[in-house]
């Protein structure tokens, strides 16, 4: 009896120990589940958006090898996979919606660009020409933002170019940003090079975004240096600013986005979205361009754009190349004449290729200075202002005609490039002189002038 009683007491004690252990494990499991819901799952959701967030481990590591611990870890992994998949689906739907909207808007902006260009060639009103030049400049900035948004959402640049000289691409990119007059372009290329047609517009987008960042993050009186160099296996564009710079975390994030190796999510771009580096990284991934950022010697940011030799082609004779620009050292006050600004035609600032005038076959007497430009709507013979000055000698006339033809092509060496405001003012002066010459010349007033005055 005593032996049976002792065995029974031992069994009861063992059962009590097992019940105590089971109760303890149940309490630990409840605490672990509470820790999973309250801390680990929210941290995991944040870590999917921000890589620096650390997901806490299990509260009771002894449960990791137990079935209940393995079950909780599988719950964490399953929720993480589900959240990531849903996030990709939602972000993909948002990007598709943005691509559709920006495609239509970009098409409308190109139509507006064409309309403005046609109006600039059709009407003689100097005030209207000045307003149209400003409208064309604003339309260029809208197009740049639309292009960047499309690229971030997985679309292309939306514009196809022919092979373009690198110098022309840099100058055209400067016309797409605000405060373009602060950009100083220095050409150190031993000979002109062109960017292949498939990469011309992406390179222009990359350079424009880097210029916009440099101008936006530096004081309004400080210039932004842009220099062109030749490399062993390509070409290099260096953009230097004296702005506020970036800290170590910002440099790491910028390099991560510029690498183009990571998937882009719209939620990671902030509010409002900062999509410049993300778009540059996508262009670099698609076309093989490399971009690096580092602190500049002005305590700002220096961005280096490397264009490999696979995207570089020799410049042909039919590609007009802007004249090389040589500017003084940076000063506190920006210069009046901006050598990087577009030519006199406001449509050149929008990147619309203007028809190049053929060079004269033989020397011809120069046309009167204030004669009206030939347009499709003008009658064949327009009254012209009488030239009160003596005609030059035949040799001088031939030289003048040759210089005029070369200027029409756009390749005069040493030519200073004017900004759009000055170009609009000069165009307005030309049109006012045209109107004054028509008024002084005898003969009937053309029909289209009467309609313009009546409006």
CATH code, 295: 3.30.565.10
Sheet bearing 183-187, strands edge to edge: 183-187, 224-231, 234-240, 301-308, 290-295
Q: What's the pLDDT at 435?
A: 72
CA distance 315 to 302: 28
Q: What are phi and psi of 306, to 5 degrees?
A: -105, 125
Which pLDDT score is estimated for 402?
A: 38
Q: Which of 207, 214, 277 is nearest to 242 (CA)?
A: 214
Answer whether residue 104 shows pLDDT above 50: yes
Say how far apart CA 87 and CA 90 lie, in whole Å: 5
Angle at 420 between CA 419 and CA 422, to 5 degrees: 70
2-11, 97-106, 187-196, 307-316: lowest mean pLDDT where? 2-11
Q: Would residue 443 count as lying in a domain?
A: no
Q: Please, which residues have CB within 8 angstroms of residue 375's CB and are 6 or more apart in sequence?
A: 121, 122
Side-chain-side CA neighbours of residue 37 (13 Å): 5
- Segment 304-309 shows an average pLDDT of 94
| CA 372 centroid distance within chain | 38
**Residues 214, 179: contact at Cβ < 8 Å?**
no
Asked whether the bond before 380 is cis by omega within 30 degrees of 0, the reply is no
Per-residue tokens: 166: 């690198």
Q: Is 432 a member of any domain? A: no
pLDDT in the model for residue 419? 61
pLDDT at 9: 77
The answer to whether residue 389 is domain-embedded is no
* Rounded distance between C-alpha atoms, residue 56 and residue 60, angstroms: 12
Helices (H), 320-366: none
Is there a domain that residue 381 lies in?
A: no
> Does 50 or 337 have the greater pLDDT score?
50
Average pLDDT, the chain: 75
- What's the CA gap between 196 and 163, in Å, rounded? 5
Pairing of strands 183-187, 224-231: parallel
Does a structural domain hold residue 359?
no
Rounded CA gap, 232 and 351, in Å? 30
How confident is the model at residue 319, as a pLDDT? Answer: 55
- Is residue 392 one of the residues assigned to a domain? no
C-alpha distances out from residue 187 to 323, 331, 352, Å: 10, 19, 23
Q: Which residues contact 288 (CB under 8 A, 6 or more apart)?
A: 199, 308, 310, 311
- Work out the pLDDT band at 167, boundaries 50, 70, 90: very high
Alpha helices, DSSP H, located in 123-193: 126-152, 166-174
Q: For residue 299, which of 181, 217, 227 has the smallest C-alpha distance?
A: 217
Mark 418-439 as b/e (b = at least 16 C-beta within 10 Å): bbbeebbbebbebbebbbebbe
Residues 445 and 454: their CA atoms lie apart, in Å, by 13
Q: 3-state DSSP call for residue 256?
A: helix
> Torsions phi, psi of 219, nearest 5?
-65, 150
pLDDT digits (tens, 9 = 90+) for 12-36: 778 887 788 778 778 888 888 888 8
The pLDDT value recorded for residue 175 is 87
Residue 82 maps to a domain: no
Q: Is the pLDDT of residue 172 over 70?
A: yes
Find all residues with CB under 8 Å of 190, minimum gap 6, and list them.
Answer: 230
Chain Cα centroid distance, residue 163: 19
* Rounded Cα gap, residues 148 and 106, in angstroms: 11
Instruction: Indicate if the pLDDT at residue 287 is higher than 80.
Output: yes
Task: Decide: 272 and 266 in contact? Cβ < 8 Å.
Answer: no
What is the biggest distance separating any 2 CA atoms in the chain, rounded to whole angstroms?
146
What is the band of 321 on the pLDDT scale with cuts at 50, 70, 90?
low
Structural domains in the chain (count): 1
pLDDT at 347: 38
pLDDT for 305: 95
Cβ atoms of 348 and 342 closer than 8 Å = yes
Confidence of residue 71 (pLDDT cuts 50, 70, 90): confident
Radius of gyration over alpha carbons of the chain, in Å?
Answer: 34
Cβ(218)–Cβ(244) under 8 Å? yes
Whether residue 234 is contained in a domain is answered as yes
Torsion-angle region of residue 103: left (phi > 0), alpha (psi -120 to 50) or beta? alpha
Residue 297 scores a pLDDT above 50: yes
Q: Which domain holds residue 123?
A: 95-350
Rounded distance, CA 179 to CA 198, Å? Answer: 29
Distance between CA atoms of 19 and 25, rounded to whole angstroms? 10
| pLDDT (tens digit per residue) in 350-364 | 343 443 343 344 444
């Amino acid at each position: 009896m005593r032996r049976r009683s002792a065995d029974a007491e031992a069994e009861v004690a063992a059962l009590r120990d097992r019940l105590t252990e089971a109760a303890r494990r149940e309490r630990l499991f409840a605490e672990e589940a509470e820790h999973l819901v309250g801390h680990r799952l929210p941290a995991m959701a944040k870590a999917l958006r921000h890589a620096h967030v650390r997901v806490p481990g299990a509260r009771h590591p002894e449960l990791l090898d137990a079935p209940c611990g393995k079950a909780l870890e599988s719950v964490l992994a399953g929720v993480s996979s589900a959240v990531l998949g849903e996030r990709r689906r939602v972000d993909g739907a948002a990007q598709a919606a943005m691509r559709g909207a920006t495609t239509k808007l970009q098409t409308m902006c190109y139509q507006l660009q064409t309309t403005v260009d046609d109006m600039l060639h059709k009407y003689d009103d100097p005030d209207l020409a000045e307003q149209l030049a400003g409208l064309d400049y604003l339309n260029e900035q809208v197009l740049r933002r639309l292009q960047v948004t499309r690229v971030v959402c997985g679309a292309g640049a939306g514009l196809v170019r022919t092979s373009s000289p690198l110098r022309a691409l840099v100058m055209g990119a400067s016309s797409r940003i605000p405060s373009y007059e602060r950009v100083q372009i220095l050409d150190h290329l031993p000979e002109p090079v062109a960017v292949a047609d498939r990469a011309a517009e992406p390179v222009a987008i990359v350079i424009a975004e880097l210029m916009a960042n440099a101008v936006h993050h530096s004081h309004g009186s400080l210039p932004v240096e842009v220099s062109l160099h030749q490399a062993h296996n390509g070409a290099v564009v260096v953009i230097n600013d004296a702005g506020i710079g970036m800290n170590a975390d910002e440099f790491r994030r910028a390099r991560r986005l510029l690498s183009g190796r990571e998937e882009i999510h719209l939620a990671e771009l902030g509010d409002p979205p900062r999509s410049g580096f993300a778009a540059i990284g996508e262009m670099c991934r698609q076309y093989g361009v490399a971009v690096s950022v580092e602190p500049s010697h002005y305590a700002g940011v220096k961005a280096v754009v490397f264009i490999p030799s696979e995207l570089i082609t020799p410049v042909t004779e039919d590609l007009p190349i802007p004249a090389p620009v040589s500017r003084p050292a940076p000063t506190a006050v920006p210069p009046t004449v901006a050598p990087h600004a577009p030519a006199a035609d406001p449509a050149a600032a929008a990147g619309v290729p203007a028809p190049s005038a053929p060079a004269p076959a033989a020397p011809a007497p120069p046309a009167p200075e204030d004669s009206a430009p030939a347009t499709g709507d003008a009658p064949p013979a327009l009254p012209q202002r009488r030239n009160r000055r003596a005609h030059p000698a035949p040799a001088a006339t031939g030289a003048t005609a040759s210089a005029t033809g070369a200027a029409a092509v756009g390749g005069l060496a040493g030519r200073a490039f004017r900004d759009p405001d000055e170009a609009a003012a000069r165009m307005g002066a030309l049109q006012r002189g045209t109107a004054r010459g028509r008024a002084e010349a005898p003969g009937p007033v053309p029909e289209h002038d009467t309609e313009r005055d009546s409006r």
